[in-house]
Amino acid sequence: GFVTAGHVIEADDYCFYNQKTFGRCTKSYPNGAKADAAFVVPDNSNITYDLTNNINGDTLAVLSTKTSLPGAGTYVNM
């Protein structure tokens, strides 16, 4: 699965890739909670996709893979 912003998708909602359903959100903590995150489980084996840390497929725009334990209220970009 993968993590996205909680204000983007609610629990039990579906995600789409190229206008086709490919996964369901199992947990969502929307903006205003202690976290703004949602976990999506891919569930459509008919869709091929590659999870990357590239932004919009741009290999020159790469999100960091470093992890840390930010304090409460810290902004985290994902």
- Annotate 2-63 with DSSP letters as a single string: EEE-TTT--TTPEEEETTEEEEEEEEEE-TTSS--EEEEEE--TT------SEETTEEEEE-
The residue extents of the domains of the chain are 2-62
pTM for the structure as a whole? 0.60
* Bridge pairing between strands 37-42 and 20-29: antiparallel
Residue with tokens 């590659």: 50
Could you read off the pLDDT tens digit of each residue along the chain, which spans 78 residues?
A: 888 888 888 899 998 877 888 889 998 888 765 778 889 998 887 777 777 888 777 888 888 777 777 788 877 665
